[in-house]
Every structure is written in C-alpha cells, then in structure tokens.
C-alpha cells in the first residue's frame, strides 16, 4: 500500500519544452501541488509536482544560475505563490510570471531581541563513539562490529574484522584477559557480554567453514624492502604479518624450534592447544609471505643487518626468572616455572613432581604452574603469596579455576630459608600489610621472630621474569633491563624497533600484538610508506539499536561452558568448550551497540 | 425549558468548580510530563542522551561526571528517557513553578 | 477569533471589497533550512512542531517519507494506531475551528461550550502520552507507545461521551436561522474555480468535489470504511457543515479502528540511511499536506520541501472575498481555516544588513 502511493512518475524536460509538458498535463486534468527549488551549486533544479489520476507526477528541469526560469503561470496561474516564494528565497528570476510580487512577498527583518537565530552548521553537533569495549582494548579491535557479524552468522567477516587490528583471533578467543569485558557497559548490571567467547566462536566457525585458518588475501605490491623480525612470539608474528601485508619481504628469526614465544611455553595446553596455536601463527605468516627461520638465534645485530635488511624489529621477550632471593634456592627440587612449563608444554614431558608441591608467587604464571602440577599427579598443591588475596595479579577466572581443582592458598607468607633434602623443607615468615608502595598495593612487613616450616617434594618459583638484552644489539637499555622505546616503538638505533615484553616488561598477548602492529606502521613509514590507519568514528556507516530493547535486557549472560573439575585434572584437555550456536547468537544479540549511528 | 432547568439546579446546589491553586492542587492525569530527574548513581557518562536530544538541552561532562539540563530548551519529548540504556533518566510528574531567570540544572553524583 | 499573522490588503469602495492582496512571511522560522542541517532522526521532532494544532500528522507524514526513502514496511498495528491518533488530532482541530467560527459569527457562549467539549479530547490525549495537544508517539518505523485494554476502553467511553455532548449543540450549525443568515451565500467558490484555483481540504469539499487524500489508502485508511464528506453549497455554510460532519466521521473512524485493531509489533527499525527521492501526502484537518524529500545516503537530508494546506487555499480566498462587504470578512476568511504557522517555514536566506 505505501509503496504504490510513493511511486511518483518522474519526467525530465529541458527548459524550452516545459510549457508543452505542462499543457499536456493540464489536458489530462492535472492539479498543481507545489514547486521545489534545489540549489545544486552551479544550477538550480526546479521540480514541479502535479497530481494526475490519483498519483503524483514530478517534472524536473535544470536551470543554470543567471538565466531566468520559465514560469508555468500561463497554464497554472495558482503557481504564482510557490514561484514568488522560490524567487524570494533563492534569488532566482522567473520569466512570464503572471503576478510578480517583485521580491516583496516574504518580509525579512531582524530583531535584536528575538530568540530565533539561524542555525550555523549541523545542529546539534553529532558524535559517534567507538564504544567503551573498543576503547579498553589495547589493540582497539572493532568489537561492536564483529559482535554484529557473529550474530548474523558471518564468521569470515568477523574473523577479518578482528585480524585488521589483532592477527590471531583463535588464540585470543582462548587466552586473552579481555579488558574489553570490564569496559562493557553492561558490567553495571553484572552481565557484560562474553566478548572473548564470541571471538572464539568467530574463529572456530571460520575454521570449520573454510577448512583451515589460511585466508585468500591480497598483499600489497612488493616494495623491495626487507625487514628482519627477531622473536616468534605475539609481537614478532604481529609485526611480521602487517609488514608482509604492506608489501615488504619479512624474515622471522625464532630461537627455539616452535613459533609462539611465551604463548608456546608459558600458556598451558589446557588453555591453548598447541596445534591450534601453530596452525594460526603459520597461517598468518603464510598469508604475509614471510620467511620463517626456526632454531635461529640472533645475538649480533650488526651481523644480521649486513645480510641486507633495511630495518629490524626486536621482540625477544622476557624469559629469565626472578630469583627467590633466599638461602638454599639452588637446592635440588627447586625449579622455576619456565622450566616446568617449557617441559610440559613444548616437550610434552610429564615430570614427576611428587605428592606435595609448593608454588611461590601470585600471578597467572603461578596459577598455571599450580594447575599443571595438579595434572601431573600432585595431590597437595599450595600456592604461597606474600601479599593478600585481593592483591593477587592473577585473574579471577584462573583463581577460581584453581580453587575448583583443590589447590590450597597460603597468603601473607614469604620464603626465608630452603633446607635441602628429600623432602625439602621451607621456612616461611608471616607478613603483615604495611604502607602502600608505588604500585598502590600495601608493602608486606615481616613479623619478626615468627616462622613456620613446611615439607614438600618440589618447589616451583613463579615470581615474575625479566629480560636480558644481548650486548650485540647495541641499543639503549633502561634501568630495569628493558629496551628503551619511544611511542613509535623506535629504539635508540636507526632502523631498529622493539616491542612486546622486551620493551615494556612482562605484559600480555593483546598488548604485544598492539606493539607489533604499531611497530609495523612505524617501520613502513620509515621505509617510505604511509603506515597503517588508526580508528576514527566513521559517520557514513549505519548502525542502529534494536527495536525491542526490553526483551534483550531480560536475557541472561551466557555462562562459560567448561569441563567439570574432576574431569579436568585427569589430563591436559582444553577446559573451555565452544559456545553453542544458539547461545552465541543470543549472547551477541544482547549487545547494546554503543557505537550506534542512526 | 426543562433542558436548562436541570443545568441551573445542578449549578445552584453543586460545589464550585474552582480549585484554590496554589493551596490545593488539581489531580493530574497519570503520565503527565514534568521535570526530568537524572540519577547520577546509574549514569556512566555514555553521552547517548546528549546525542539523542533534539534541542541540545543536555550537556554531559565526562571527567567531572555531572550533567547539565536546561528545562527551558527541553521539549519534554522523552527521547533521552528511551535512549538511556541504564534507565538513569526518570520523568517526574510535578509541574515546576515558573522562575525568574532561565536557569540550568546540574546533576552531580 | 484566533489572530493569524497574515496581512490582507483590501481595496474597498464604500462597503464593498474590490480587490485583495496577501502579504505573508511574518512568522517564517527557517524550518526547511533547519531540516537540512539536522540529522534525519531529529527532524521528526522538528516537523512535529511546525504547527501547533495539526502536529501529529506532520510527524506521521515525515516518518512516512523517511520510511519510503529507507524501504521500511511499517507493521499493521502501528498503522492502525497512527490512524487512530491522526483522527483524534482531526477531531481536536475541527472542534477548535467550530468554536472559533461560532465566535466569529457572534455566538460566544457556543464557543465556550465547544471548547469545553474539546477538553474531553485533550484529556484523552494527555492520558495517552502525557502532553495535551502534542502526542509525540510517532517514530520512524512505527509508534513508540501501545494501547492496552484499559486505554482502549477509555477511548471508546470518551468517544461516546463526546458524541453525546456534540449532539447537544450541533443543531446550531445545522439549523439555526441566525447562523444561516450570516453564512449562506457568503464566500462563494464555484466548482470550476475551486478546481482551477487548486483549493484543498474542506474548502474544496464544500464545493461538492470529493477530494480527500485519505482515499489513497495510506496508513490504515485503506482498510477502514468511509467516504469523503461533501456539500454542494459552495459557500461558508457548506464548509462549516463539512467540518461538522467530519467530527462525526472521525468519531466513527476511531471506533471502527479500535474494533479492528490487529495484533503485532509496533516498531520496525530501518537498516540504512535515507537515500533517493520520495514524496508523501496526507490529509490534515485543513487539507492536503505534501512532503518531498531527497536523501543522499548520509545522516543528513539533502532537501525537504513541505507544502501545507493553507498555502493553496489563499488564491481561492482572494477570489471569494471580492464583491462582499467588509462585515463579512471574518466569516469568509475563517471558513478556509487559515493556519499561518504551517504556511511559513521556508528558508531565511537574506541576512540582515
């Protein structure tokens, strides 16, 4: 019904044929409705609207400015009002006007006390926001867009949207600490969108549809420049991917026998299956046309650059463990978390840690070590941390998972002496929270004279790591041992950039991916290109909120599907399962679309 | 004749229809549009109300977490009430008394 | 008598009018230009405020225009609801006019009585959405408020009450000798002139021509059963009777629509910016309103042209006035129901020097 009355008939005529056209309409009994004038810059477009036989006919005429427009008042005298009005407003001359009011039809006057003012520019100023989730993400992934694409079932489009800013969605969907979810506005109603799970839905969905993770994408034409990337962790692979897509020839040097860096040895297999990790990293490097050299350690940068590279990116990471700094730390049975995790994750070994294991530390690595120890058969695993539970840097997700797996916690205990032997004995000193230090947390103060002893079979130290920069790199190093970089990831050496853990200390996967992309953009500009663009709100994209908002507010948050605790500790199976399609659609539909633009 | 007799008798013996405003207030129909109240505890400064307002009567100061609302510019269309996803804007049904100056109202947390 | 800001320059000879020249342009507010500067969503609120009396129909016509430019299909329930509210607006406007016309003729207490009955409609509007005259229920793609059981019963009860009150005084318009003396034979607009001068609304229906845009079937009018009201007198008396009959017709249409109200959603969102050209026409209480819009795929409209019904009624007015006496001017000018705030919304291009 609505469509038929909207369909007007359009006629386009030249100025000379206007009167004949109008005569023809008058013979058919047309009724004059009105005239519209539109300013097109160089000319006016004049549209006369008539009603004929119950429908509307529009006659379009182009009239260059400066030439008088033929009036239709000889045929339709009532058109004089509309044409006089157009003449007054647009200063357009009409010829043949039957009643010419001489430009005086509209009275124009300005009163100083009037509240009506002509508008200047678009009113009110329009903004479109990126969305709080996107602003929290270190890599500024276009989260609202890929949530909409997952809801519509367009997994390939969602996968591409994520890769535009962070190249490894399948891995991120399993391991990212998801600061976006803390930024989601629905956290106020205690149900933020499960953005990380939706990312995995997109990646696994694409993998199934596509039969693998390799996409068919075009690189830019070759620039003839060569870039060396040192380190195959997230920062290195990210930089290699973006540089390769920009057209440069990239060679990636990785010291160990597998890609992944800290993702490979540091993240346990029950979080990130290693075959998926290698598949995705290889897929990206294949698409970028990058050459990968495994088992190729680089310590002398001058020697490397002589091989003909125009720029280099250092992303060697931080894998030297901090010392326990207590007597007896070299005893047998005291291992670092890197040794334990590397053995289990990379070499697939199952070392026997005995029945009782003590893990010292409070971060995610301590949780990983403790849960790995549990899966290796230890029955009593206790985590010792020198501050309080609320101050632990480990994520709540990991902590609750550890508690479910019967791991014990002992807070405000710091190690003093380790007595060697089988079993080992550790003496712990209880601590009391004191004044806050510069991280904002309260520095623990030892309670003198008190201590307690514990007997364990293995001690795992997981109190953080630091990086060692080889002198052969010849770059400036900070007090903490990290490479000094500016905001464009540039080091003190010309043509050499750095990013990831080695530049900022231990961080996380998504921040390292951002470093890699930023460095790729800087290197591209250094080599004469334009770099990569930063996100700005795009006013030409149409995004609207849904019609029935109360219905989607009533939906609950999707729960993370996981294996049961007793099942989990039997082996290293992946704990999290993929969301069902209908649950994923429901969860993605819950999004409030904070980047709306309608 | 009988038609207006009934009307005369009704008016003669009935209660006066005058309402002694402002000492008594007449009953307001439900849903009358009065002032807006911004609940700053629920507001997270997303600026959706500022973007939706047709007459630019709302200004959100993100860093100071305050909102300025101009009752004179407002056209009481409740587009902001519908746009706020946290339901932080509540329309009241009081009709505010006229003031001496065109003023803005500021809402703080 | 509601003063409208139009200046009519009369050339008189003794008591007879010889010629008339109109001067309009006293209240133009730059609305068409403002429409180009605002984004298309905010324009809905602007268009609703072009006129104080016929506001909701302006809003519905603008929403209809955008729906055509974005290809949205409005659900049936929303169309019925829009029809019901458009008829309530028409009722309210005609009752206002009847009161003013009565006062212009000289019946002052009838004016008070008619406006007291108009309060029944205004209280109904306030119960619907909180404003007395301005309903504000239109959105692009449907309506924002639904009518539940209680509200529907209230509508039907109020329509019965209104009909009873209107029956009390409608005989003045139909049969009163003094009223007839003042309006019959005044402001004659012959049939042929009405067509060639382009009159719209009750002005042309009072000359016997059944031109009513509602018969084209926009919104839910295609499914309601009604015929355009015409009278053959061609003078002010006929035009008054047309409006009086339309009051009864509106009450009947509201009852019919509420009985036939289908189930379903009330709002459908569009999925793209308005693009292309479109036109939409609707029947306002004063006649045919015409909207032409051109969008270019961004958030702003390129051009929007609005032609409200009073503008084409001015040439017939000029023809009607010639030959009558000065004392008849109120009866004649009022019979076309001028609404000058509708008429002036055009661009203010000249800057004050």
Q: Write out pLDDT tens, residues A226-279.
A: 999 999 999 999 999 999 999 999 999 999 999 998 899 989 999 999 999 999
Chains in contact with B, where contact means 3 or more Cβ–Cβ distances below 8 Å, are A, C
The stretches of chain B forming alpha helices (DSSP H) are 2-13, 48-52, 79-83
pLDDT of residue A1: 31
The SS3 call for residue A291 is strand
CB atoms C49 and B75 under 8 Å: yes
pLDDT of residue C216: 87
The yes-or-no verdict on residue A508 having pLDDT over 60 is yes
Q: Could you report the per-residue pLDDT of C110-157, keeping only the tens digit for each?
A: 999 999 999 999 989 988 888 888 888 899 999 998 999 999 999 999
Across all residues in chain A, what is the average pLDDT?
87
Q: Are strands A356-360 and A380-385 parallel, antiparallel or unpaired?
A: parallel
Do residues A389 and A298 lie in contact, with contact meaning Cβ atoms separated by under 8 Å? no
Do residues A226 and A242 lie in contact, with contact meaning Cβ atoms separated by under 8 Å? no
The SS3 call for residue C55 is helix
Contacts B56 to A, Cβ<8 Å: 123-124
pLDDT of residue C91: 93
Contacts A592 to B, Cβ<8 Å: 85
Contacts B46 to A, Cβ<8 Å: 129, 132, 185, 594
CB atoms C315 and A81 under 8 Å: yes
CB atoms under 10 Å from CB of C186, counted, come to 20
DSSP state of A577: -
Q: Could you report the per-residue pLDDT of C32-51, keeping only the tens digit for each?
A: 878 888 888 888 998 888 88
CA pair distance C144, A550, nearest whole angstrom: 13
The SS3 call for residue C23 is strand
Tell me if chain A has a CB within 8 Å of the CB of C25. yes
Residue C317: phi and psi, rounded to 5, are -60, -45
The yes-or-no verdict on residue B6 having pLDDT over 60 is yes
User: Chain C closest CA to B80's CA: distance in Å?
Assistant: 12
The mean pLDDT value for C79-103 works out to 92
Chain C, residues 304-343, CB within 8 A of chain A, namely 305, 307, 311-312, 314-315
Run of H or E residues at A432: strand A424-436
Q: Going by CATH, does the domain composed of A129-213+572-598 fall within 1.10.1060.10?
A: yes
Contacts B80 to A, Cβ<8 Å: none
pLDDT of residue A122: 61
The yes-or-no verdict on residue C350 having pLDDT over 50 is no
Which residue from C23, C37, C290 is facing A34, i.e. has the nearest CB?
C290
The mean pLDDT value for C199-209 works out to 89
Contacts A545 to C, Cβ<8 Å: 269
Q: Where are chain A's structural domains? A: 2-95, 129-213+572-598, 226-319+479-526, 320-466
- The CATH code of domain A320-466 reads 3.50.50.60
Which residue from C46, C128, C144 is facing B54, i.e. has the nearest CB?
C46
Contacts B76 to C, Cβ<8 Å: 130-131
pLDDT of residue A204: 94
Identify which of A9-13, A254-258, A447-451 has the greatest average pLDDT.
A254-258
**Helices H / strands E in chain A, number of each:** 21, 22
- Fold assignment, A2-95: Beta Polymerase; domain 2 (3.30.460)
Q: Could you report the per-residue pLDDT of B11-38, keeping only the tens digit for each?
A: 888 888 788 877 877 777 777 888 889 9
CA pair distance C57, A54, nearest whole angstrom: 20
CB atoms C290 and A54 under 8 Å: no
Structure tokens at A243: 């540089």
Residue identified by tokens 């005569």 is A23
- For C73, name the nearest residue in chain A, comparing CA atoms only: A2
- For A597, name the nearest residue in chain B, comparing CA atoms only: B51
Q: Is residue C202 part of a domain?
A: yes
Q: What is the CATH number of the domain that holds C95?
A: 1.10.645.10
Q: Which residues contact C137 (CB under 8 A, 6 or more apart)?
A: C56, C81, C85, C128, C129, C143, C144, C145
CA pair distance C192, C198, nearest whole angstrom: 10
- Of the candidates A500, A470, A28, which has an alpha carbon nearest to the alpha carbon of residue A231? A500
The yes-or-no verdict on residue A2 having pLDDT over 70 is no
> Measured between alpha carbons, how far apart are the two ends of chain C, in Å?
36
Mutate which: B30, B31, B56, vs C, most C CBs within 10 A: B31
Tell me if chain C has a CB within 8 Å of the CB of A56. yes
CA pair distance A156, A193, nearest whole angstrom: 21
- For B33, name the nearest residue in chain C, comparing CA atoms only: C130
> Domain span at residue C262?
7-343
Percent of chain A with pLDDT over 90: 38
Helix %, strand %, coil % of chain C (to 5): 50, 15, 35
The yes-or-no verdict on residue C351 having pLDDT over 60 is no
Q: How many domains does chain C have?
A: 1
Lowest mean pLDDT segment, chosen from A528-537, C60-69, C168-177, C334-343: C334-343
Contacts B78 to C, Cβ<8 Å: 130, 136
The yes-or-no verdict on residue A16 having pLDDT over 70 is yes
CA C351 to chain centre: 32
CA pair distance A132, B44, nearest whole angstrom: 11
Q: Which residues contact A22 (CB under 8 A, 6 or more apart)?
A: A48, A59, A72, A75, A76
The yes-or-no verdict on residue C348 having pLDDT over 50 is no
- For B93, name the nearest residue in chain C, comparing CA atoms only: C130
User: Chain C closest CA to A13's CA: distance in Å?
Assistant: 17
Lowest mean pLDDT segment, chosen from A144-148, A529-533, C155-159: A529-533
User: Chain B closest CA to C123's CA: distance in Å?
Assistant: 8
The yes-or-no verdict on residue C74 having pLDDT over 60 is yes
Contacts B79 to C, Cβ<8 Å: 45
Residue identified by tokens 């449907």 is C142
Rounded to two decimals, the ipTM of the complex is 0.83
pLDDT band at A108, cuts 50/70/90?
A: low
Q: Is residue C302 part of a domain?
A: yes
Run of H or E residues at A80: helix A80-90
Q: Is residue B4 part of a domain?
A: no
Residue identified by tokens 């427009």 is A69
Contacts A109 to C, Cβ<8 Å: 352
Q: Do domains A2-95 and A320-466 have the same CATH topology?
A: no
Specify burial of residue C316 (Cβ count, 10 A radius: 0-12, 13-18, 19+).
buried
Contacts C280 to A, Cβ<8 Å: 5-6
User: What is the dihedral angle through the alpha carbons of C36, C42, C47, C51, rounded to the nearest 10 degrees?
Assistant: -120
Farthest-apart Cα atoms in chain A, separation: 115
Q: Which residues contact C120 (CB under 8 A, 6 or more apart)?
A: C158, C161, C162, C165
- Of the candidates A164, A214, A169, A221, which has an alpha carbon nearest to the alpha carbon of residue A195? A169
Does residue B28 or residue A301 have the better pLDDT? A301
pLDDT of residue A196: 94
Tell me if chain C has a CB within 8 Å of the CB of B30. yes
CB atoms B86 and A188 under 8 Å: yes
Q: At what angle do helices C149-175 and C108-129 cross, to 10 degrees?
A: 170
The yes-or-no verdict on residue C353 having pLDDT over 50 is no
CB atoms A58 and C141 under 8 Å: no
Chain B, residues 5-64, CB within 8 A of chain A, namely 42, 44, 46-47, 51, 53, 56
The yes-or-no verdict on residue A595 having pLDDT over 50 is yes
Contacts C49 to B, Cβ<8 Å: 75
User: Chain A closest CA to C131's CA: distance in Å?
Assistant: 24
The mean pLDDT value for B48-55 works out to 88
Q: What is the CATH number of the domain that holds B76?
A: 3.30.70.3270
Contacts C130 to B, Cβ<8 Å: 31-33, 76, 78, 91
Q: Could you report the per-residue pLDDT of A51-66, keeping only the tens digit for each?
A: 888 788 888 988 888 8
Tell me if chain A has a CB within 8 Å of the CB of C168. no
pLDDT band at A29, cuts 50/70/90?
A: confident
Lowest mean pLDDT segment, chosen from A251-265, A502-516, C52-66, C332-346: C332-346
Contacts C127 to B, Cβ<8 Å: 29-31
Q: Going by CATH, does the domain composed of A226-319+479-526 fall within 3.40.190.10?
A: no
The model's pTM: 0.88
CB atoms B46 and A132 under 8 Å: yes
Contacts C268 to A, Cβ<8 Å: 547
Chain C, residues 171-190, CB within 8 A of chain B, namely none
Structure tokens at C101: 């016309």
The yes-or-no verdict on residue A407 having pLDDT over 50 is yes
Q: Is residue B44 part of a domain?
A: yes
- For B55, name the nearest residue in chain A, comparing CA atoms only: A124
pLDDT of residue C343: 52
Q: How many domains does chain B have?
A: 1
CA pair distance A256, A296, nearest whole angstrom: 7
CB atoms C216 and A108 under 8 Å: no
Residue C112: phi and psi, rounded to 5, are -65, -40
User: Chain B closest CA to A124's CA: distance in Å?
Assistant: 6
The yes-or-no verdict on residue C206 having pLDDT over 70 is yes
The yes-or-no verdict on residue A561 having pLDDT over 70 is yes
CA pair distance A312, A230, nearest whole angstrom: 8
Q: Could you report the per-residue pLDDT of C139-149, keeping only the tens digit for each?
A: 999 999 899 99
pLDDT of residue A423: 84
CB atoms B77 and C136 under 8 Å: yes
Q: Is residue B87 part of a domain?
A: yes
Tell me if chain C has a CB within 8 Å of the CB of A34. yes
Structure tokens at A123: 């009113």
- For B42, name the nearest residue in chain A, comparing CA atoms only: A188
pLDDT of residue B71: 86
Handedness of CA A162, A168, A174, A179 (dihedral sign): negative
Structure tokens at A482: 């990290």
Q: Is residue C350 part of a domain?
A: no
Do residues A431 and A412 lie in contact, with contact meaning Cβ atoms separated by under 8 Å? yes
CA pair distance C88, C91, nearest whole angstrom: 5
The yes-or-no verdict on residue B102 having pLDDT over 80 is no
Q: Could you report the per-residue pLDDT of A351-406, keeping only the tens digit for each?
A: 888 899 999 988 888 999 999 999 998 889 999 988 888 888 888 888 988 999 98
Tell me if chain A has a CB within 8 Å of the CB of C270. yes
CB atoms under 10 Å from CB of C61, counted, come to 23
Mutate which: C312, C319, C345, vs A, most A CBs within 10 A: C312
Q: DSSP string of A231-284?
A: --SHHHHHHHHHHHHTT-EEEEE-SSSSS-THHHHHS-TTTS-HHHHHHHHHHH
The mean pLDDT value for C283-303 works out to 89
> What is the total residue count of chain B?
109
The mean pLDDT value for C234-251 works out to 92
Tell me if chain C has a CB within 8 Å of the CB of A14. no
pLDDT band at A517, cuts 50/70/90?
A: very high
The yes-or-no verdict on residue A5 having pLDDT over 60 is no
Residue C9: phi and psi, rounded to 5, are -90, 115
Q: Is residue B8 part of a domain?
A: no
Q: Could you report the per-residue pLDDT of A461-495, keeping only the tens digit for each?
A: 998 888 888 888 888 888 888 898 998 999 998 88
Tell me if chain A has a CB within 8 Å of the CB of C46. no
CA pair distance C221, C306, nearest whole angstrom: 22
Residue A32: phi and psi, rounded to 5, are -80, 130
Whole-number Cα distances in Å, A396 to A177, A362, A393 = 10, 12, 9
pLDDT band at A450, cuts 50/70/90?
A: confident
Tell me if chain C has a CB within 8 Å of the CB of A548. yes
Does residue A580 or residue A82 have the better pLDDT? A580
> Domain span at residue B34?
30-107
CB atoms C290 and A539 under 8 Å: no
């Amino acid at each position: 019904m609505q469509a038929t009355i909207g369909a007007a008939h359009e006629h386009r005529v030249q100025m000379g044929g206007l009167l004949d056209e109008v005569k023809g309409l008058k013979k058919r009994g047309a009724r004059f409705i009105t005239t519209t004038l539109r300013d097109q810059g160089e000319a006016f477009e004049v549209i006369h609207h008539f009603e004929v036989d119950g429908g509307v006919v529009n006659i379009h005429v182009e009239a260059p400015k400066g030439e008088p427009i033929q009036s239709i008042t000889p045929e339709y005298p009532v058109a004089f009002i509309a044409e006089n009005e157009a003449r007054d407003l647009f200063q357009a001359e009409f010829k043949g006007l039957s009643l010419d009011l001489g430009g005086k039809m509209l009275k124009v006057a300005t009163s100083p006390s009037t509240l009506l003012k002509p508008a200047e520019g678009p009113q009110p100023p329009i903004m479109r926001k990126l969305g709080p989730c996107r602003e929290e993400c270190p890599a500024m992934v276009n989260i609202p867009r890929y949530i909409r694409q997952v809801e519509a079932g367009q997994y390939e489009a969602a996968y591409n949207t994520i890769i535009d800013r962070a190249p490894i969605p399948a891995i991120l969907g399993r391991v990212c600490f998801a600061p976006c979810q803390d930024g989601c506005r629905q956290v106020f109603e205690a149900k933020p969108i499960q953005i990380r799970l939706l990312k995995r839905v997109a990646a696994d969905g694409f993998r199934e549809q596509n039969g693998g993770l390799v996409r068919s994408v075009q690189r830019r034409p070759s620039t003839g420049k060569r870039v060396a990337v040192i380190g195959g962790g997230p920062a290195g692979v990210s930089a290699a991917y973006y540089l390769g897509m920009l057209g440069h020839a990239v060679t990636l040097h990785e010291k160990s026998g597998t890609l992944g860096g800290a993702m490979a040895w540091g993240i346990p297999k029950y979080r990130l299956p290693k075959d998926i990790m290698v598949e995705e990293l290889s897929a990206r490097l294949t698409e970028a046309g990058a050459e990968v050299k495994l088992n190729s350690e680089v310590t002398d940068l001058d020697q490397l650059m002589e091989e003909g590279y125009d720029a280099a990116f250092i992303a060697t990471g931080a894998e030297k463990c901090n010392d326990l700094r207590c007597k007896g730390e070299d005893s047998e049975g005291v291992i670092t978390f890197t040794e334990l995790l590397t053995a289990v994750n990379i070499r697939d070994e199952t070392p026997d840690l005995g029945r009782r294991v003590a893990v010292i530390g409070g971060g995610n690595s301590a949780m990983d070590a403790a849960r790995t120890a549990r899966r290796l058969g230890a029955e009593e695993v206790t985590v010792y941390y020198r501050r309080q539970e609320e101050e632990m840097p480990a994520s709540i997700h990991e902590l609750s998972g550890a508690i479910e797996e019967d791991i014990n916690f002992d807070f405000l205990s710091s190690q003093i002496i380790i007595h060697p032997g089988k079993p080992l004995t550790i003496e712990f000193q209880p601590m009391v929270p004191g004044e806050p230090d510069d991280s904002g947390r309260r520095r623990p103060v030892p309670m003198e004279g008190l201590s307690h002893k514990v007997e364990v079979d293995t001690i795992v130290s997981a109190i953080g790591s630091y990086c060692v920069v080889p002198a052969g790199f010849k770059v400036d190093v900070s007090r903490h041992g990290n490479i000094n970089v500016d905001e464009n990831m540039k080091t003190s050496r010309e043509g050499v950039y750095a990013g990831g853990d080695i530049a900022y200390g231990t961080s996380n996967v998504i921040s390292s991916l951002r470093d890699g992309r930023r460095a790729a953009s800087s290197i591209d500009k250094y080599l004469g290109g334009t770099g990569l663009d930063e996100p700005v709100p795009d006013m030409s994209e149409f995004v609207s909120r849904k019609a029935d908002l109360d219905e989607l507010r009533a939906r609950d948050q999707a729960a993370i599907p996981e294996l049961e605790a007793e099942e989990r500790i039997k082996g290293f199976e992946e704990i999290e399962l993929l969301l069902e399609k209908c649950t994923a659609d429901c969860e993605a539909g819950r999004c409030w679309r904070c980047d709306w633009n309608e | 004749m009988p038609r207006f007799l009934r009307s005369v008798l009704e008016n003669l013996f009935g209660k006066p229809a005058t309402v002694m405003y402002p000492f008594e207030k007449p009953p307001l129909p439900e849903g009358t549009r009065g002032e807006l109240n911004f609940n700053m505890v629920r507001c997270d400064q997303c600026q959706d109300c500022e973007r939706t307002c047709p007459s630019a009567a709302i200004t959100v100061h993100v860093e100071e977490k305050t909102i300025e609302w101009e009752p004179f510019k407002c056209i009481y269309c409740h587009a902001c009430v519908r746009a706020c996803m946290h339901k932080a804007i509540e329309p009241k049904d009081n009709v505010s008394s006229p003031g001496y100056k065109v003023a803005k109202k500021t809402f703080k947390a | 008598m509601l003063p409208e800001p139009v200046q009519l320059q009369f050339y008189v000879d003794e008591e007879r009018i010889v010629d008339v020249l109109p001067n309009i342009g006293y209240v133009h507010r730059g609305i068409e230009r403002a429409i180009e500067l605002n984004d298309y969503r905010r324009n809905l609120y602007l268009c609703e405020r072009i006129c104080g009396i016929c506001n909701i129909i302006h809003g519905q016509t603008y929403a209809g225009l955008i729906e055509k430019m974005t290809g949205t299909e409005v659900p049936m329930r929303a169309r019925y609801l829009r029809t019901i509210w458009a008829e309530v607006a028409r009722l309210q406007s005609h009752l206002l006019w009847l009161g003013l016309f009565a006062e212009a003729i000289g019946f002052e207490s009838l004016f008070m009585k008619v406006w007291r009955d108009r309060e029944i409609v205004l209280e109904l509007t306030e119960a619907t959405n909180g404003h007395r005259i301005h309903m504000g229920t239109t959105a692009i793609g449907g309506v924002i408020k639904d009518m539940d059981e209680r509200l529907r019963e209230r509508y039907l009860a109020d329509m019965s009450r209104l009909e009873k009150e209107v029956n009390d005084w409608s005989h003045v318009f139909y049969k009163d000798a003094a009223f007839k003396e003042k309006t019959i034979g005044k402001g004659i607009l012959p049939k042929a002139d009405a067509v060639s001068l382009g009159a719209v609304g009750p002005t042309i229906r009072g000359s016997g021509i059944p031109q009513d845009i509602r018969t084209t079937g926009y919104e839910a009018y295609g499914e309601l059963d009604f015929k355009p009201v015409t009278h053959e007198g061609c003078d002010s008396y006929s035009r008054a009777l047309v409006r009086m009959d339309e009051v009864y017709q509106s009450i009947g249409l509201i009852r019919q629509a509420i009985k036939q109200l289908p189930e379903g959603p009330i709002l459908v969102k569009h999925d793209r910016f308005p693009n292309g050209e479109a036109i939409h026409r609707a029947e306002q209480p004063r006649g045919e309103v015409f909207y032409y819009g051109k969008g270019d795929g961004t958030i702003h409209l390129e051009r929007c042209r609005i032609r409200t019904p009073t503008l084409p009624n001015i040439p017939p007015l000029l023809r009607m006035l010639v030959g009558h006496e000065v004392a008849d001017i109120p009866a004649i000018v009022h019979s076309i129901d001028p609404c000058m705030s509708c008429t002036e919304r055009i661009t203010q291009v000249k800057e004050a020097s």
